[in-house]
């Protein structure tokens, strides 16, 4: 590797270390306490190095969100690859529900929630989620598979699935069991089936 | 009023003042910063008076949740009374959605969310919401009206409606418009109709 290449690789490694540290701090301290100073300490880098990569807290928050979104997408892909059953709608919804329980998804929800009373965070989130929204639509479309690509009701089923999963996830904090939520998911799978395959039921 | 009666009324008024102050502090400072000291200052009462009514932070949090739940129920009732349209399912879902945008509902969601990383808060919430869950089921059943009382699919529609509304509410923080959410609500109304009145569609 050339000296320039080595320096670029070192810069990238430092940047990744800072973003990973930011996620650790977010997990341990919560959003409000995720300051550039705390992240700098956790990453073990100099103030100069931190400010070189992230001149403002907003830059850091933006990178943190991008990383969470990237991890979320990876979790959905893994969940899809391991989801059981032959039914593609069931596999897709169950994989999305499983992915919503992953830490990266829960931390992202923490950010959304904190954004209600934090304008800087909200601005960063809106920017990051605009790009992520397109990715998510792509991931969900892939989850439902070729069979439903172009199905006119797929956008409805997609947005309902995501809203339902977010709502169940929020309620889950008060539950000691996932039974009720799993039941709701199963019922939604069967409804989503009817929506995507109207003839399968109505015309019989 | 007897002297005992006067003292009881004064005690009740002080208690209400403290709970109202706790909600003000929660709104301004967030959950983590809602301490008994801040609430005491905001209510303008002595430490002794605060501790007399609420010996621990948990007692105060519990009273705060009960008050939010009470306000929520009042908001749902008002929304139901003013919801437009002849269709009872649409009126019920729209009223619940409108009520979910009210400050008391948003503050309650703040608490649910904070409970993920606050064991004391979670315990208080689980206790309070157990009672509130029964109230909510009653309120929602009333919202759907006598026509659907005893409908075997009402429990499914109720839990789906609440999860969907919570999920849409969570996503709403990133939106500048309520258009997409309102559209999802309208689509859910039409689905809920099909679920509650299966013969209206399938047999025609």
Nearest to B122 among A167, A171, A173 (CB): A173
Cβ neighbours of B28 (radius 10 Å): 12
CA–CA min distance B195, chain A (Å): 9
Nearest to B167 among A117, A165, A174 (CB): A165
DSSP chain B: --HHHHHHHHHHHHHHHHHHHHHHHHHHH-STT--HHHHHHHHT--HHHHHHH-SSHHHHHHHHHHHHHHHHHHHHHHHHHH--SS-HHHHHHHHHHHHHTSHHHHHHHHHHHHGGG-HHHHHHHHHHHHHHHHHHHHHHHHHH-GGGTT-TTHHHHHHHHHHHHHHHHHHHTT-S-SHHHHHHHHHHHHHHHHHH-HHHHHT-
ipTM for the assembly? 0.76
CA–CA min distance A1, chain B (Å): 43
What are the CA-CA distances from residue B112 to residues A83, A170, A173, B123 (Å)? 29, 7, 7, 11
Q: Nearest 5 degrees, angle CA A204-CA A197-CA B144?
A: 90
CA–CA min distance A44, chain B (Å): 25
Mutate to test the interface with B, among A129, A163, A169, A192 (most CBs of B within 10 A): A163
Binary contact (B162, A166; C-beta < 8 A):
no
Q: Nearest 5 degrees, angle CA B194-CA B199-CA B201?
A: 55
Name the residue with tokens 């706790």.
B22
Separation CA A198–CA A186 (nearest Å): 18
The answer to whether A43 and A13 are in contact (CB under 8 A) is no
Alpha helix ranges (H) inside A30-153: 36-43, 47-53, 57-82, 88-100, 103-114, 119-144
Cβ neighbours of A161 (radius 10 Å): 23
Name the residue with tokens 């320039």.
A4
With CA atoms as reference, the chain B residue closest to A30 would be B117
Q: Which fold has domain A1-55?
A: Arc Repressor Mutant, subunit A (1.10.10)
How high is the pLDDT of residue B173? 73
In this prediction, residue A169 has a pLDDT band, given cuts at 50, 70 and 90, of: confident
Nearest to B163 among A117, A159, A184 (CB): A184
Name the residue with tokens 């649409």.
B90
How high is the pLDDT of residue B15? 95
What are the CA-CA distances from residue B38 to residues A4, B30, B44, B45, B56 (Å)? 55, 11, 10, 11, 14
How high is the pLDDT of residue A45? 95
Binary contact (A184, B160; C-beta < 8 A):
yes
How high is the pLDDT of residue B44? 95
Contacts of B113 in chain A (CB under 8 A): 109-110, 113, 170, 173
B82: left (phi over 0), alpha (psi -120 to 50) or beta: alpha
* Both tokens assigned to B68: 């939010």
Residues A70-80: tens digit of each pLDDT: 898 888 889 88
Sequence spans of domains, chain B: 1-55, 66-202
* Both tokens assigned to B102: 């009210």
Nearest to B167 among A110, A164, A180 (CB): A164
Separation CA B37–CA B54 (nearest Å): 12
The CATH label, of 1.20.144, 3.40.720, 1.20.1300, 1.10.357, for the domain at B66-202 is: 1.10.357
* Both tokens assigned to B63: 């009273």
Burial A70-84 (b: 16+ CB within 10 A, else e): ebbbebbeebbeebe
With CA atoms as reference, the chain A residue closest to B163 would be A167
Residues A46-62: tens digit of each pLDDT: 999 999 999 988 889 88
Name the residue with tokens 């619940």.
B96
Residue A176 has pLDDT above 80, yes or no: no
Nearest to A171 among B110, B122, B163 (CB): B163
CA–CA min distance A168, chain B (Å): 5
Residues A112-164: tens digit of each pLDDT: 888 887 888 888 888 777 777 777 777 788 888 888 888 988 888 888 888 88
Q: Does A174 touch chain B (CB under 8 A)?
A: yes
Nearest to B170 among A126, A166, A191 (CB): A166
Q: Does A179 touch chain B (CB under 8 A)?
A: no
* Best mean pLDDT range from A81-85, A180-184, B130-134: A180-184
Question: For A61, phi and psi rounded to 5 degrees?
Answer: -60, -40
Mind listing the pLDDT tens digit of every residue in chain B (204 residues)? 788 888 889 889 999 999 999 999 988 887 777 888 999 999 999 999 999 999 988 889 889 988 988 898 889 889 888 887 778 899 999 989 988 888 888 888 888 888 887 888 888 888 777 777 777 777 788 888 888 888 988 888 888 888 889 888 887 777 777 888 888 899 899 888 888 887 654 443
CA–CA min distance B27, chain A (Å): 9
Residues A8-38: tens digit of each pLDDT: 898 899 999 999 999 999 888 877 778 889 9
Binary contact (A164, B159; C-beta < 8 A):
no
With CA atoms as reference, the chain B residue closest to A184 would be B160
CB contacts < 8 A (A, B): 101
Q: Does A201 touch chain B (CB under 8 A)?
A: yes
Cβ neighbours of A102 (radius 10 Å): 17
């Amino acid at each position: 590797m050339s000296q320039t290449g080595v320096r670029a690789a070192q810069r990238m490694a430092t940047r990744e270390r800072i973003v990973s540290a930011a996620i650790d701090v977010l997990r341990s301290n919560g959003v409000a306490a995720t300051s550039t100073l705390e992240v700098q300490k956790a990453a073990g880098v100099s103030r100069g190095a931190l400010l070189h990569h992230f001149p403002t807290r907003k830059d850091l928050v933006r990178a943190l969100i991008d990383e969470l979104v990237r991890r979320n997408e990876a979790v959905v892909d893994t969940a899809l690859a391991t989801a059981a059953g032959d039914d593609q709608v069931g596999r897709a919804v169950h994989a999305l529900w499983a992915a919503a329980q992953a830490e990266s998804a829960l931390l992202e929800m923490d950010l959304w929630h904190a954004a209600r009373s934090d304008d800087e965070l909200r601005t960063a989130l809106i920017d990051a989620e605009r790009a992520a929204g397109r990715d998510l639509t792509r991931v969900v479309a892939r989850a439902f598979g070729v069979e439903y690509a172009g199905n006119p009701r797929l956008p409805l089923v997609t947005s309902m699935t995501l809203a339902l999963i977010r709502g169940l996830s929020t309620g889950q904090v008060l539950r000691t069991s996932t039974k009720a939520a799993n039941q709701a998911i199963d019922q939604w799978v069967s409804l989503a089936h009817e929506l995507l395959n109207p003839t399968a039921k109505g015309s019989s």
